[in-house]
């Protein structure tokens, strides 16, 4: 009988499966940290996890609660700083995968982490870009974690903090961003990807127990579901690694 | 060492109403908290903060009403406050003037300041609203230490094809505040663990104030100078103040204090309770010994870092 | 460690006729000499060298006819050759294409390359002939890895008054050659003493080859990662070759070899004798053990650095 | 009875006397190294000597023979790199004095260390700028060491590597170089300085045993000698410090 698992666990494992051996993985806080660590421990042992703060390949015996956590500086191959970290994200000889979170996303995978409402006097203010805009500009691919809600999957962002496929088609390249773009969106309901040509979001996988209709209802724009398939649930091995090795204190797994 | 002074002296001598200030550290790490508290106690107003990703020190300063103007990439304290609470309220209420940049953009602006060049190019932000919205008004842009433009987009002159490049104006703050692990008796600074943008911020500034955990002999700090972070001549004031970054962490010395950060979140969420927090933890504190007594030896032991591993192994961080 | 290979393999795999090459080190320090000798032995031609201040490795490569094109700030070997001799002859005889920059300009160009930005501004050189004369012809400027312009002067867009700024094109060499003291078993690089522009040169390059004095356990190199210089993923080939920088020095391992540098000066000054030098010290050398035997254990002991002080105390350096 | 002394010793001491306590002193190779070290040991104990290679405030128990010498990295407060070093030279909060050498100098203190003859096919090629052009652009003041010869003190440089007072007057500032300029020229015959307004070179001091006429003869342009006075010879204390502490191996003092 399959084990029970939390949303965060399903999301971490769905995202982790995108990481290839040898990838350089840029991790943020929360689920993103879980996913990056899980990826390295389960699928891609030669992947290197690093943080915008400058910590490269830490031992991660305990899960960090912030990208500046002391745990991102322990057992690393190098402790540097922000400028070093961002120049790694964009380095042409590295294949870099970035995990980001956002408050809003549009159908081209553009992200808002700045504010809702008028920019100068917002209804809700968020943390701001941090390194998200930079990473979205430079990484080989971005995987975004979202709570799947209509108010978050929107036709038009209140503020475009981080560029995904911009206005679709080749508009991202025409901006002068030579590589990268939105690779996938991993939510509490499923996994979305982007059409090769139009760069529009489509449903790739829905989680066991989630209906396609529920995803359509919770998406604020029209989404192609014609290619949707059910996701493979986390295996016992994956879950055990996640719980025993990645987040033994269950700080993030639980949610 | 003539630059050695008390917290009170350092702040009184170098920070004025309206000063432009950069903070060392990042969200919950090596924030110059003791300096932030002293700025609040001295009633300094109208600060212009220039920040990449900042958390605790910035939020307390904003909450205490010391900040008029803010250039920032990120206001958050990790999982303890994904968006800094007093920062969020201040912007939503229209209490402060603010301008958004990204982390790399802000770091590059400090780098440009440290290299004494007027601007620096990047491709970061092309297509984003960081380059569509200006937070500062035209009036603000005529003021001291405010860039005349948020950015400039130009064509790369080294290639013929269309190739847009973003030029970012350099930052040269009046004062940069750093908390470091070690200062040598010769004034040399050594930061352990990640340095974030501390080095660039320090070299870009007119004045640098460093608080530290320990002052160590010249012979020690000069035995392996490859490890040092700043030469003495960039530093104007040095204050020894152990646990001067609490409740944020300090690699190899102490972890962040989860209990305090959780408590802070609760207090910061309520205007009345936030006043109580300031009264209890800032205004009501006579000296740093009293502050550490309030934290309690029990908690100081819990957050004490394993000096080899660098953090407090097994600390309850919920 | 899969990147570990022999000198022969590393050069054969990554360096081609016409490659653009940056050298780590500076004049008489940490020159990648073993790599330079191997390049000569493999008969590689038409190299495009991009250098700040270089001495021994550059001069040998020029003298052996491997270099077609050179961007450089300084060709010298301290008091042993205030101007590098084969470099001087090659320019005076019109044997190589050359372009002059300053040290800061070249370092900034590598920095720009390492940051992945197309150019970087500076005020250095305003009024100087570095900005009046171009060494490269228009034809050369259309070639691969050559900047389309030596520089561009623009008005600072952030102020209204006249304010000229020099934009320098980024450098992204095909290959950067570094000699380091330590490489961890995980591939992490640690350079001791001054790093010159090695880090920027490595990060700017497509390929990085590192020769080293010692390979050390992962547990050692990761105990204090603040001291490390480059993460493994920037490095493509690692070759263990002790004394791989001889006759230049390597901090904490060995001093420069004054006898060899003086001897080199004499040989380099005479075309026929220089051929003898190459035959004896490069072409005729079967392996590195033979090279070290030629240097002699007597001299190896004399130049052995005091590991605490970093150099060979009292060495006769005349 | 006064001690005998070499040209290099007289030059090192003449130049060293310009250094003030607290100055940050940029030193090159040769006499410049001797002068910087002498200045710190004799006149300005709080001066900091640093090198373009990134070595800051080394112990200098032995005199370096190159700016990349291992001796510039030993006992320092910081070992960094070129970019760090050049950003120190130009830092607005530091008063930086630079010692340079050159092959040619003109009456405005502009320097040539690049070549003689046609730039593209020179009669004599020198080392090139190295950090000289940068330091001349950024330092608070430059002191240049020269052999005093007519072919070196020229009306017109073959190549202007490093800007001094450019074309005189306020022409340097108008270039966009906000501070600095040529402070003095120290030769084997005397010490030259620059007129406050016109920025033309004048003879300030001639060494004991050197005639003003000899200096005029060896200068390739007209030089104002109206203010010239005899230099104070090195004292025994100065010479002893130089020989016993600065250059105990007599590697540079001797010449």
Q: Is residue A22 part of a domain?
A: yes
Q: How far is D176 from chain B (nearest CA, A)?
A: 12
Ranking B46-60, C131-145, D138-152, D235-249 by mean pLDDT, the lowest is D235-249
D211 — contact with chain C (CB < 8 Å)?
no
Contact C2, C24 (CB under 8 A): no
B81 — contact with chain A (CB < 8 Å)?
no
User: CB–CB of D77 and B115 under 8 A?
Assistant: no
Strand A96-101 relative to strand C97-100: parallel, antiparallel, unpaired?
A: unpaired
Q: Is residue D255 part of a domain?
A: no
pLDDT in tens, C24-78: 999 999 999 999 999 999 999 999 999 999 999 999 999 999 999 999 999 999 8
- The whole-number pLDDT of residue C1 equals 76
Contact B181, B213 (CB under 8 A): yes
- The whole-number pLDDT of residue B284 equals 96
User: CB–CB of D91 and B206 under 8 A?
Assistant: no
pLDDT in tens, A169-222: 999 999 999 999 999 999 999 999 999 999 999 999 999 999 999 999 999 999
- The whole-number pLDDT of residue A116 equals 98
Strand B53-54 relative to strand B67-72: parallel, antiparallel, unpaired?
A: unpaired
- The boundaries of the domain holding residue A110 are 7-246
Percent of chain C at pLDDT > 70 equals 100
Contact A88, A24 (CB under 8 A): yes
Q: Which tokens belong to B258?
A: 């989860």
Asked if the bond preceding B8 is cis, omega within 30° of 0, the reply is no
Strand A104-105 relative to strand A96-101: parallel, antiparallel, unpaired?
A: unpaired
A121 — contact with chain C (CB < 8 Å)?
no
Chain B interface, Cβ < 8 Å to C: 108, 115-123, 147-149, 152, 154, 156-160, 163, 165, 167, 169, 192-193, 223-224, 226-227, 308
Q: Which residues of D touch C168 (CB under 8 A)?
A: none
- The whole-number pLDDT of residue A216 equals 98
Q: Which tokens belong to A217?
A: 């209802």
Asked if pLDDT for residue D30 goes beyond 90, the answer is no
- The whole-number pLDDT of residue D254 equals 74
- The whole-number pLDDT of residue D2 equals 65
User: CB–CB of B121 and C122 under 8 A?
Assistant: no
pLDDT in tens, D138-175: 999 999 999 999 999 999 999 999 999 999 999 999 99
CATH code for the domain in which residue D227 is found: 3.40.1080.10
CATH, range B7-121+171-302 = 3.40.1080.10
d(CA D187, CA D147): 5
Q: Which residues of B touch C147 (CB under 8 A)?
A: 158
Q: How far is B226 from chain C (nearest CA, A)?
A: 6
pLDDT in tens, C186-219: 999 999 999 999 999 999 999 999 999 999 999 9
pLDDT in tens, A132-174: 999 999 999 999 999 999 999 999 999 999 999 999 999 999 9
Concatenate the DSSP letters of all residues of B132-149 into one string: T---S-TTGGGSTTS-SS
| Structural domains of chain A, count | 1
Q: Which tokens belong to B10?
A: 């350092």
Asked if pLDDT for residue D255 goes beyond 70, the answer is no
Asked if the bond preceding B247 is cis, omega within 30° of 0, the reply is yes
Q: Name the pLDDT band for D76 (thresholds 50, 70, 90).
A: very high
- The whole-number pLDDT of residue A85 equals 97
Our answer on whether D and A touch (3+ beta-carbon pairs < 8 Å) is no
Instruction: Using DSSP, state whether B292 is helix, strand or coil.
Output: helix
Q: Is residue A251 part of a domain?
A: no
Q: Name the pLDDT band for D250 (thresholds 50, 70, 90).
A: confident
Asked if the bond preceding C247 is cis, omega within 30° of 0, the reply is yes
Place of tokens 């962040």: B256
Strand C152-155 relative to strand C164-169: parallel, antiparallel, unpaired?
A: antiparallel
d(CA C309, CA C312): 8
Strand D111-112 relative to strand D104-105: parallel, antiparallel, unpaired?
A: antiparallel
d(CA B33, CA B23): 10
User: CB–CB of B120 and C118 under 8 A?
Assistant: no
Q: Is residue D173 part of a domain?
A: yes
Fold of C122-169: Defensin A-like (3.30.30)
Q: Which of D46, D53, D63, D45 is nearest to D26 (CA)?
A: D53
- The whole-number pLDDT of residue A2 equals 65
Please, where in chain C does CATH 3.30.30 lie? 122-169
d(CA D39, CA A124): 61
**What is the distance of C-alpha D47 from the center of its chain?**
16
C25 — contact with chain D (CB < 8 Å)?
yes
Q: Which residues of C touch D251 (CB under 8 A)?
A: 79, 317-318
Asked if pLDDT for residue D1 goes beyond 80, the answer is no
Strand A190-194 relative to strand A182-187: parallel, antiparallel, unpaired?
A: antiparallel
Please, where in chain C does CATH 3.40.1080.10 lie? 7-121+171-302
Percent of chain D at pLDDT > 70 equals 99
A32 vs B205, higher pLDDT = B205
Q: How far is C168 from chain A (nearest CA, A)?
A: 19
Alpha helices per DSSP H over chain A:
7-16, 31-38, 82-89, 132-138, 171-175, 212-217, 236-241
C154 — contact with chain D (CB < 8 Å)?
no
Q: Which residues of B touch C122 (CB under 8 A)?
A: 115, 117
Mean pLDDT for D205-213 is 97
The span from the first CA to the last CA of chain C, in angstroms, equals 42
Q: Is residue D143 part of a domain?
A: yes
pLDDT in tens, A87-108: 999 999 999 999 999 999 999 9
**Phi, psi torsion values for C85, nearest 5 degrees:** -80, -45
d(CA B77, CA A29): 10
pLDDT in tens, A38-67: 999 999 999 999 999 999 999 999 999 999
Q: Which of A32, A24, A133 is nearest to B53 (CA)?
A: A133
| Residues of D tagged active-site | 52
Q: Is residue A252 part of a domain?
A: no
User: CB–CB of B230 and D56 under 8 A?
Assistant: no
Place of tokens 């653009």: C20
How many CB atoms within 10 Å of residue D161?
30
d(CA B236, CA B202): 10
- The whole-number pLDDT of residue A255 equals 63
Look over chain D and give the mean of its residue pLDDT values, rounded to a whole number: 95
Q: Which residues pair with D182 in a beta bridge?
A: D142
Q: Which residues of C touch B169 (CB under 8 A)?
A: 158
Alpha helices per DSSP H over chain C:
7-14, 33-41, 56-63, 85-92, 103-115, 198-204, 218-221, 258-268, 271-278, 288-295, 297-303
Q: Name the pLDDT band for C155 (thresholds 50, 70, 90).
A: very high
Q: Name the pLDDT band for D134 (thresholds 50, 70, 90).
A: very high
Mean pLDDT for D64-89 is 96
Q: Which tokens belong to C117?
A: 């930005």
Q: How far is B18 from chain A (nearest CA, A)?
A: 22
D54 Cβ contact list (under 8 Å, min separation 6): C194, C195, C196, D78, D79, D80, D81, D82, D84, D85
pLDDT in tens, A212-252: 999 999 999 999 999 999 999 999 999 999 999 888 888 88
- The whole-number pLDDT of residue C2 equals 87
A87 — contact with chain C (CB < 8 Å)?
yes
Q: What is the DSSP letter of A221?
A: S
**Per-residue pLDDT for chain B (318 aa), expressed as one digit of tens each?**
789 999 999 999 999 999 999 999 999 999 999 999 999 999 999 999 999 999 999 999 999 999 999 999 999 998 899 999 999 999 999 999 999 999 999 999 999 999 999 999 999 999 999 999 999 999 999 999 999 999 999 999 999 999 999 999 999 999 999 999 999 999 999 999 999 999 999 999 999 999 999 999 999 999 999 999 999 999 999 999 999 999 999 999 999 999 999 999 999 999 999 999 999 999 999 999 999 999 999 999 999 999 999 999 999 998
């Amino acid at each position: 009988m399959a084990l029970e698992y939390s949303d965060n666990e399903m999301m971490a494992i769905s995202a982790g499966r995108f990481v290839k051996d040898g990838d350089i993985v840029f991790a943020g806080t929360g689920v993103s940290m879980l996913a990056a660590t899980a990826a390295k421990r389960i699928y891609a042992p030669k992947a290197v996890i690093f943080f915008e703060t400058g910590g490269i390949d830490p031992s991660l015996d305990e899960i960090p609660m912030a990208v500046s956590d002391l745990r991102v500086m322990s057992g690393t191959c190098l402790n540097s700083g922000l400028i070093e970290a961002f120049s790694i994200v964009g380095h042409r000889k590295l294949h870099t995968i970035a995990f980001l979170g956002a408050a809003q996303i549009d159908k081209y995978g553009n992200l808002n982490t700045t504010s809702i409402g008028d920019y100068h006097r917002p209804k809700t203010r968020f943390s701001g870009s941090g390194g998200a805009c930079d990473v979205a500009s430079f990484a080989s691919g971005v995987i975004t974690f979202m709570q799947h809600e209509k108010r978050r999957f929107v036709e038009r962002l209140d503020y475009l903090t981080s560029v995904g496929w911009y206005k679709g088609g080749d508009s991202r390249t025409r901006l002068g961003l030579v590589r990268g773009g939105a690779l996938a969106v991993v939510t509490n309901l499923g996994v979305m990807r982007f059409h090769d040509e139009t760069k529009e979001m489509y449903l790739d996988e829905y989680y066991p127990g989630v209906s396609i209709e529920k995803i359509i209802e919770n998406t604020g724009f029209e989404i192609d579901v014609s290619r949707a398939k059910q996701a493979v649930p986390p295996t016992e091995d994956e879950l055990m690694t996640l719980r025993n090795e990645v987040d033994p204190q269950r700080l993030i797994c639980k949610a | 060492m003539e630059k050695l002074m008390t917290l009170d002296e350092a702040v009184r001598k170098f920070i004025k109403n309206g000063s432009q200030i950069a903070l060392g550290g990042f969200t919950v790490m090596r924030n110059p908290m003791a300096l932030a508290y002293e700025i609040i106690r001295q009633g300094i107003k109208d600060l212009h903060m220039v920040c990449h990703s900042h958390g605790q020190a910035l939020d307390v300063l904003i909450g205490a009403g010391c900040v008029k103007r803010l250039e920032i990439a990120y206001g958050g304290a990790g999982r303890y406050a994904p968006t800094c609470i007093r920062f969020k309220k201040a912007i939503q209420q229209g209490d402060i003037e603010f301008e958004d940049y990204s982390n790399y953009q802000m770091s590059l602006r400090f780098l440009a300041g440290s290299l004494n060049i007027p601007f620096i190019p990047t491709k970061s932000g092309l297509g984003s609203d960081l380059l569509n919205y200006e937070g500062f008004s035209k009036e603000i842009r005529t003021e001291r230490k405010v860039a005349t433009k948020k950015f400039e987009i130009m064509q790369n002159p080294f290639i013929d094809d269309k190739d847009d490049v973003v030029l970012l104006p350099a930052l040269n703050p009046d004062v940069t505040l750093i908390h470091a692990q070690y200062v040598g008796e010769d004034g040399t600074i050594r930061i352990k663990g990640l340095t974030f943008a501390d080095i660039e911020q320090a070299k870009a500034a007119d004045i640098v104030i460093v608080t530290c955990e320990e002052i160590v002999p010249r012979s020690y700090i000069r035995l392996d100078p490859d490890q040092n972070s700043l030469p003495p001549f960039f530093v104007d004031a040095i204050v020894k103040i152990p646990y001067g970054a609490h409740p944020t962490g300090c690699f190899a010395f102490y972890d962040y204090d989860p209990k305090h950060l959780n408590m802070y979140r609760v207090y910061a969420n309520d205007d009345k309770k936030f006043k109580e927090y300031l009264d209890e933890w800032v205004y009501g504190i006579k000296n740093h010994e009293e502050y550490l007594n309030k934290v309690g030896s029990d908690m100081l032991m819990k957050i004490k870092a394993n000096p080899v591993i660098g953090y407090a192994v097994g600390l309850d961080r919920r």
